[in-house]
């Protein structure tokens, strides 16, 4: 998104440009504030949409919360509906962040991308439609970083993969990547532009990083007590543990469940 913003600047920050073009100071401030409110609210509501519940309801005519572990996340979707259900859920979670970042950058420019991305992440973690109980925000945070600056995403992904390879803890890999995100953004911005990033951007990178770490607080406790499950590179996990980044904390049932679409079918003789 950073690179696209540099190529097509006339398409982005439309509300900001409109506010700047208005001569009346009061009207200009009203437009500017309205743009920020519209950006934050729309991104939060998009983030609050639960892709697992939507996919299970409209595709399978069932509620994912009535099957498997009862958790509306990627892992349980894979357990109950298999790969197709999990991929549709994944696409939905990525898609809502893509739309949120686009809204932010169109309304407010590059700073709006960070603002909308963070609010979509907040909506995913604390969804208003589902009693403020959601995922951990790793996927939405990763999507935001990829859209805004692919170079930063590549660095953080390599770091994530390295920590996972050395420790086999998915949660610890997410925590380390989140911890280094602000520093990575600062170094990448200085390398790309020759000057330090704006304080606004640094604030949101720090906010996103700390929020991911906070959502993994129970994982940190389990790591220190040697209770955290490790990812296996040798055999395929029964419940696709690599997808468990989002809902590990609320998904205590690790039993494998056959897909709901196969339940009730008679075995062939």
3-state secondary structure 68-134: CCCCCCHHHHHHHHHHHHHHHHHHHHHHHHHHHHHHHHHHHCHHHHHHHHHHHHHHHHCCHHHCCCC
Tokens for 25, please give them. Answer: 């100071």
Q: Residues 157-180: pLDDT tens digits?
A: 999 999 999 988 888 999 999 999
CA end-to-end span of the chain:
56
254 contact partners, CB below 8 Å, separation of at least 6: 229, 238, 239
Distances (CA, A) of 119 to 84, 129, 150, 161, 261: 28, 15, 20, 26, 35
Instruction: State mean pLDDT over 217-236.
Output: 78
Least confident of 88-92, 234-238, 254-258: 254-258
242 contact partners, CB below 8 Å, separation of at least 6: 170, 231
Q: What is the pTM of this model?
A: 0.80
Task: Tell me how crowded residue 83 is: count the other CB atoms within 10 A of its CB.
Answer: 11
Tokens for 262, please give them. Answer: 């196969």
pLDDT top residue among 182 and 22: 182
Average pLDDT across the chain, whole number: 82
């Amino acid at each position: 998104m950073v690179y696209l913003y540099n190529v097509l600047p006339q398409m982005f920050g439309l509300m900001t440009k409109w506010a700047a073009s208005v001569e009346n100071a009061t009207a200009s401030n009203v437009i500017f504030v309205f743009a920020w409110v519209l950006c934050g609210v729309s991104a939060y509501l998009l983030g609050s949409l639960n892709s697992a519940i939507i996919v299970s309801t409209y595709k399978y005519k069932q509620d994912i919360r009535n099957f498997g572990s009862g958790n509306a996340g990627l892992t349980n979707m894979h357990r109950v509906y298999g790969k197709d259900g999990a991929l549709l859920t994944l696409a939905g979670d990525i898609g809502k962040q893509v739309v949120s970042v686009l809204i932010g950058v169109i309304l407010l420019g590059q700073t709006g991308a960070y603002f909308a991305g963070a609010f979509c992440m907040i909506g995913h973690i604390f969804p208003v439609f589902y009693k403020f109980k959601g995922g951990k925000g790793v996927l939405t945070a990763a999507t935001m970083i990829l859209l805004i600056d692919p170079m930063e995403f590549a660095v953080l992904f390599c770091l994530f993969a390295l920590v996972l390879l050395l420790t086999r803890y998915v949660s610890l890999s997410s925590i380390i990547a989140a911890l280094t995100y602000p520093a990575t953004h600062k170094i990448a911005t200085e390398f790309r532009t020759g000057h330090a990033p704006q304080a606004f951007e640094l604030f949101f990178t720090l906010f996103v990083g700390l929020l991911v770490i906070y959502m993994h607080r129970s994982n940190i406790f389990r790591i220190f007590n040697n209770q955290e499950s490790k990812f296996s590179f040798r055999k395929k996990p029964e419940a696709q543990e690599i997808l468990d980044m989002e809902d590990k904390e609320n998904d205590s049932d690790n039993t494998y469940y056959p897909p709901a679409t196969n339940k009730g079918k008679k075995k062939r003789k």
